[in-house]
Amino acid sequence: MATMRAVDIKGGTGPATALFINDSTPKPTPSPTQALIRVKAFGLNRMDLLQREGRYPVPPQAPKTLGVEFSGVIEELGSKAHEGHEDWKKGDEVFGLAYGGAYAEYITVNVHMLVHKPSELSWEECAGIPEVGIIAVEGRYVAGATTWITALQAMYLVGEFAPGKSILWHAGASSVSIAGIQLSKADNASAIYATARQDEKCDFCVQRLGATAAFNSEKSNWSEEVLKATDGKGVDIIIDFIGASYFGGNLDAAARDGHIVNLASMGGAKLPGGEDVGAFVRKRIRFEGSSLRSRDEQYQGKLRNQLVEHALPKFKSKEFTIYVEKVFDWESVVEAHQLMESNKTKGKIICVIP
């Protein structure tokens, strides 16, 4: 059996220090519709931390190796991988989304989830584009490090964004909201608001990303600030990762016929007693949840196409920026996980395989 090097976990689960590179991991073989990719770089997501600890509901089709986003080179193609709209060939430089297995020298992925790597972008930038993870852990839903496909999903497929609508991104300095604020600006939102828990992050949202205004949720009543900024109207779309602790504020800040898209519940999943839900009827509000990793390949393929249509040209022109916090050699994957656990980052953490 052919083998490869891949990141593994001592004992199957454990802390960051349990990670090590296993030299005898079985090398995957592509199915007829898959490609075998030699990985150049992979992105970290918070779901990886929880999967490492044994607290993540891994999809049944996922390998045990961590990692869902990567960039690399096609090494081999399955017998039916040429069928479809893309003319893939050995040696193509690509990036993409997988159910798992990216922390390795090689990964197999359905070709529908691959995107040609633009020459204008680095391996590290491309490895940070695709994915976010949303999971339930001990009654709380936790968002992984967040990126462009999830922002596209939340805005367009779920939130039904259209030019001229206003939008609020919670956790404004997270990777999904960094992407979403840029997408909202490029697609002519009438106003873009954000929340964050630090003044520095609020300034980042406005000065670097182009948000109309950002509100420090630790120092102010952010829903009241949104209503003041919109002359009492509220916002058309709210993208929320916080959950229960922001539930009432979201109802207050939503405009009539507003749409609240919930992607996680980092502030808890259980509502306190006495929560007033009258705004659902009074303002005709729609509240909808969504996730990505558990979706089938057809759904994920639609999002891949949205990425190519809406975002890829702007990546090439540098109108959109992929914020990479730090790049590690994959031999330092322990330090990379520890940095993510510190919760002090903005943007992506990337590991490269020399």
pLDDT at 85: 62
Query: Residue 254 pairs with which residues in a beta bridge?
Result: 235
Distance CA(76)–CA(59), nearest Å, equals: 25
Mean pLDDT of 205-218: 96
Most confident range, picked from 22-36, 51-65, 116-130: 22-36
pLDDT digits over 283-310, tens only? 999 999 987 766 777 787 777 887 888 7
Average pLDDT, the chain: 89
Tell me if the pTM is above 0.85: no
pLDDT at 131: 55
Strands (DSSP E) contained in 80-209 are 93-97, 106-110, 114-116, 134-137, 140-143, 166-169, 191-196
| pLDDT level of residue 139 (50, 70, 90 thresholds) | very low
What tokens were used for 336? 């990379």
Q: Is the pLDDT of residue 219 over 80?
A: yes
Q: Is the pLDDT of residue 142 over 60?
A: no
